[in-house]
Structure 1
Amino acid sequence: MAPLLLILLFLTSSLPAQQNNQFESLLQFADTSRLLRNASVSIYAINIAQGRVILDKNGQKVLAPASNLKVVTSAAGLEILGSDYKYKTSFSLAGENTPEGEFIGDVIIEPSGDPTFGSTFITGILSFEEIFDSVFLRIEKAGIKKIRGGIRVDLSGFSVQQFPDYWSYIDIGNYYGTGVHKFTFHDNMYFLFFKPGLKPGDPAEVLRTEPEIEGLKFINRMRTGKAGSGDNGYIYPLPGREEYLLQGTIPAGVEEFDIKGSLPDPAAAFTGLFLNELERRGITFTVSIIYDSVKTGDRQQNQLADFYSPPLREIVRIINKRSNNLYTEQVLAALGMKNGRGRTEEGIAVVDSFLKANNIFSESLRLQDGSGLSRSNMISARTISELLHYMAVKGKTFSDYYESFPVAGDTLDSGGFKRFGLGTVIAKNARIKSGTINGVRSFSGYIHNKKGDLIAFSFLVNNYNGRSADVDGWYRELLLKLAE
């Protein structure tokens, strides 16, 4: 038995080397180049048609994935919630009307964590102004000229802690770090407009916010940068203060320039705008704002309007093609509601169970959010590749999932790879989700080889020494090899 055991051990140990022979020079680059030799690398690829691993370099090593984590969250969302899943936001009245046109009771808003409510990312979504028009049309049709009671927003079931643990301070005041909320609107985002100075170094003047948000206060340290330098401005929340520090630069040479910030309290911002709309329409009111679970008691409840999100398949397209953090975190919260609460931790537990239930490698997996914004997320290229393999072979929603990835070399695609691989076999072949945060660059997705076999791949690099574009160049060569 001993000789046979030795032979089996030899064959097992030689498998990665056999798989990697055709990639030998490219993998040596990871060990010897100035760009990667001190970096952490995890590379993995599976030929789905053959059910065979064809590339493995440190495939089980867990690294920060950045936005490549979105392919995990979106897969779990589609498979568990379903492609047709929709969020719902309801407006109703609980109380009674007097003959004089006074409504005595509560205006009730029941959200469900819909990231598309009043969103700007999906064509055909009602703006928050159009939402107001729909709600107030029904209020006016009911003959209501005065409201006495409350505006009650049901925020039960979600955590009051809006930001996942381990998000960076630099992110949480800006539009891509809006956190998790049961009530969202306008992408939990506002536009902050500046008037730049005449020359670089001049102060930049704050003009306004859109929408107008009461209570936002700024300490303005924003400066004017060179013409054409783009958005290099940041919005920092100041601990213990109801103010935000504005730093960085906006470009010279334009009349005005806007950057995007995250709403600190979307429900409060919306109710403030709601009260302004009541006043604008001549409806007088004496109301209190209540953020709690909805309890109507014996009062009659009359529905004003229900607003539904697009189906989840469309939301997932925005997640993967546009790398939208808010949409991803809200899908994770919806998964958390499967365990009774829309908390990040509950959603992560559902994702973890999904991976384990489908025998997807998850050793040493450590997740802190759904979008990959935290540098503390840790996952391996093997885990991502096996998930991609599972979706292609067993996933009920694979078609919707596959179509959500950016298409390389397709100038008409809405993703970020319009020119990547143009003039090569990569173009209009590879589907790639990228990820980038400080020191992290990742690609994961699918590509067909010349035989037509579909290949799932995941490339993760942390702490490279150089430009992300240089890492992309190496990834491009790996993809060209996979496509042979």
Structure 2
Amino acid sequence: MRSILVFFTFIYISVAIAQQETMPNNKVQNYLNSIPNQPGVGQSPFTCYVIDLSNNKIIAKHQESMRIPAASTMKLVTTAAALNILGANYTFKTQLAYSGSLDKATKTLNGDLYIIGGGDPTLGSRYYTEDGEESDFLMAWADSIKESGILHINGRVVADGSAYEYQGSPSGWVWGDMGNYYGAGPNGLTIYDNMLKLYFDTKAIGSDAKLTCTIPYLPNFYLGGSIQAAKSSRDNAYVFGAPYSLDWYITGSIPYKREDFMVKAANPDPELTFTHEFNQALQAQGITIKYFPETKRNLLKDSNYQMPALKTIYTHESPSLLSIINLTNLYSVNLFAEHLLCEIAYKRKGIGSTHQGALIAKAYLSSKFDCSGLIMTDGSGLSRSNAMSAKFLVLLLKYMKGSNNYKNSLAVAGKKGTMRSIGRKTAASGRVIGKSGSMSKMKAYAGYVNSTTGKKLAYAMVMNNYNTPTYKVKGYFEKLMVLMATY
């Protein structure tokens, strides 16, 4: 009996020693150990992992294999996959084409003019145009139609966004997000960031705001509900609506005594907006059009519809994929990320699909390193069905460490992008780069560190469902960044 007791005591001591040997002992780890003891944090899912990229030595870890939603750090996955699968110089292409025949003598098109979408998310985007110049590309397109010898269209303008599935929004997006501008879903024909600008006039506190204008024009769009004027400088309005539904609802409040106060909402039908906007641009250039504009999605409701043979007039190419990725990571542009994921599927499968894009992206990355710590259901991280472990994120960063294109797309602590407000006037400023992630009761950061001692680190930290103000969690993470920057 005594020998058995000695044996188990030996085993217990050996396990304890092994655990101590594998647990790092340094200032980063010591501070990390204290975070779960902070008020409102103890029961929160929390995963963190830090390694030295020069030797793969673990610097700090806490529940590093736990998979939890990590908000916009999912864009690190999407942009890495897009860079590797599509390439930095890849471009999205949009075609103008026509059906029927062209009478060159009368400059009359006896057929329809088609806009064939290729998933370009930059058309009229605020990230690529100045205020007031969003529709300039449409006027340039209209010029190209005139130059091709068309002054009269004995048909209609048809917008075709069928390159991507007409899914509207990715699976897992919640009702409270889909109607707001950051919840705009991908479309084969995206225009103006798939955003509606709702303008309101407000008067006295407590009075109902009056909707004065909606830009761009969306036929038959109806906005129900109401928002009140409030003694506040903030936009506290929330818009609700489903993709391809034109009956929407708004609630909340906006500042009082304002004229043309803008509330940004998602566009429920970008394809419909596109065809009307281009129709208007053509008419502004003196081109006559016989029938009202149409969409491919609406035409497909007729089971007898068949796509006609088309002749291409003009092909528009987007800025490079790298340019789009830079904006996606630096400013956390959800729509761009969703387009990147859909385009991966379009390139490989011939149809843009969030689901297929996620499968292809994960399969590709799984061929390079262990992706068991990834559950991917969208490209932007807005879906709460996503989940990632800190260890997975660090493995991804390790795999991408040689890509300057990738690293240069990231925000810089204390300097630029979505991380400009963290680490200001600390050692982390300019030394910590990465991608932030924020949703209700969710905070995350992942990226690289160039420490003051010359070490190159990769890190990830994600916390969910904390019962404390977000600024406090941000403060804990900022302290970790400062300690990593001086490690």
TM-score normalized with structure 2 length: 0.89
Q: Return the match for 2:178 from 172, 188, 191.
A: 172
Q: Please point out which of 141, 144, 155 is paired with 2:147.
A: 141
Stretch moving more, 134-143 or 365-374: 134-143
Change (3 A) 1:145 1:241: closer
Q: What is the distance in 2 between the residues matched to 1:320 and 1:373?
A: 14
What is residue 202 of structure 2 aligned with on the other side?
A: 196
1:54 matched to 2:59:
yes
Shift of 1:129: 2.2
Partner of 1:116: 122
Distance 1:241 1:275 in 2: 22
Q: SS state of the match for residue 395, structure 2?
A: helix
Tell me which residue corresponds to 2:460: 458
Q: 1:478 aligns with which of 477, 480, 487?
A: 480
Change (3 A) 1:46 1:144: same
Report deviation, 1:179.
1.2
State the 1:9 CA deviation: 6.4
User: Matched residues in 1 for 2:57 and 2:279: separation?
Assistant: 61
Is contact 1:43–1:59 with CA below 8 Å preserved after alignment?
A: yes
Alpha carbons of 1:380 and 1:238: their partners in 2 closer, same or farther (altered >3 Å)?
closer
The one-letter amino acid of 2:368's match is N
Question: Cα RMSD over matched residues?
Answer: 2.7
* 2:390 alignment partner in structure 1: 381
Return the alpha-carbon distance in structure 2 between the equivalents of residues 256 and 191 of structure 1: 10
Code of the residue aligned with 1:353 in structure 2: it is A
Partner of 2:84: 79
Shift of 1:62: 0.4
Correspondence for 2:406: 401
1:262 aligns with 2:270: no
1:340 is aligned to: 350
Q: d(CA) in 1 for partners of 2:129 and 2:50?
A: 35
Question: Gapped runs of 5+ residues in structure 1?
Answer: none
Secondary structure of the corresponding residue to residue 74 of structure 1: helix
The answer to whether the 8 Å contact 1:16/1:56 transfers is: no
The residue number in structure 2 matching 1:237 is 241
The 1:15/1:384 distance shift into structure 2, 3 A limit, reads: farther
Q: How far does residue 86 in structure 1 lie from its aligned partner after superposition?
A: 0.9
- Choose from 176, 187, 193 the match for 2:193: 187
2:381 pairs, out of 369, 372, 381, with 372
Q: Is the 8 A contact 2:179 2:242 kept in 1?
A: no
Offset at residue 12 of structure 1 (A): 5.2
Shift of 1:130: 1.4
Cα displacement string for residues 32-60 of structure 1 (whole angstroms, at most 9, x for unaligned residues): 22131111100001110122221110000
Contact 1:29 1:36 in 2 (8 A): no
- Contact residue 115 and residue 330 of structure 1 kept, 8 A: yes
**Residue type of the partner of 1:351?**
A
Instruction: State the one-letter code of the partner of 2:100.
Output: G
**Residues of 1 paired with 2:419 and 2:437: CA distance?**
12
Number of aligned positions between the proteins: 469
1:326 CA displacement: 0.2
Which range moved further: 338-347 or 372-381?
338-347
Select which of 402, 420, 423 maps to 1:421. Answer: 423
2: CA distance, partners of 1:59 / 1:108: 51
1:51 counterpart SS class: coil
Q: Distance in 2 between the 1:203 and 1:126 partners?
A: 29
CA contact (8 A) 1:361 1:382 kept: no
Q: Is the 8 A contact 1:103 1:146 kept in 2?
A: yes
Deviation at 1:159, TM superposition (A): 1.5
Give the aligned partner of residue 102 of structure 1. Answer: 108
- 1:217 aligned to 2:222? yes
How far the C-alpha of 1:138 sits from its partner, in A, is 2.6
- For 1:439, the equivalent position in structure 2 comes to 441
Distance 2:176 2:149 in 1: 48
> What amino acid maps onto 1:344 in structure 2?
T
- Helix, strand or coil at the partner of 2:184: coil
> 2:154 & 2:68 partners in 1: Cα distance?
55
The corresponding residue for 2:288 is: 284
> 1:425 Cα deviation (Å)?
1.3
| Contact 2:32-2:60 at 8 Å conserved across structures | no
Contact 1:68 1:435 in 2 (8 A): yes
Match of 1:246 among 247, 250, 253: 250
Conserved in 1, the CA contact under 8 Å of 2:198 and 2:263?
Answer: yes
Cα 1:384/1:49, change in 2 over 3 Å: same
Q: CA deviation at 1:211?
A: 1.8
Q: Deviations over 1:334-373 (max 9, x none)?
A: 111223321111111112112211113424x322111110
Q: Which residue identity does 2:48 align to in structure 1?
A: I
Q: Sort the Cα spacing of 1:28 and 1:143 in 2 relative to 1 into closer, same or farther, 3 A.
A: closer
CA shift digits 1:416-465 (9 cap, x unpaired): 23242222211111103111112110011111122212111000000111
Task: Say whether the 8 Å CA contact 1:108–1:294 is kept in structure 2.
Answer: no
Change (3 A) 1:351 1:10: farther
SS at match of 2:453: coil
Summarize deviations over 1:143-186 as a string: whole Å, max 9, x none.
Answer: 43321234343334422212111111011111111112111011
In structure 1, distance between residues paired with 2:322 and 2:132: 18
Amino acid at match of 2:330: K
CA distance in structure 2 between the partners assigned to 1:109 and 1:241 by the alignment: 22
Q: Which TM-score applies when normalising by structure 1?
A: 0.90
SS at match of 2:145: helix
Deviations 1:56-91 (Å, cap 9, x if unpaired)? 100000011011111111111112111111111111
Is contact 1:127-1:186 (8 Å) kept?
Answer: no
Structure 2 contact 154–290 (Cα < 8 Å) conserved:
yes
Among candidates 60, 66, 69, match of residue 64 of structure 1: 69
Q: Deviations over 1:86-109 (max 9, x none)?
A: 111111233323333321022122
Identity of aligned residues (%): 29
Partner of 2:98: 93
| Cross-structure match for 1:132 | 138
Which stretch shifts more, 469-478 or 324-333? 469-478
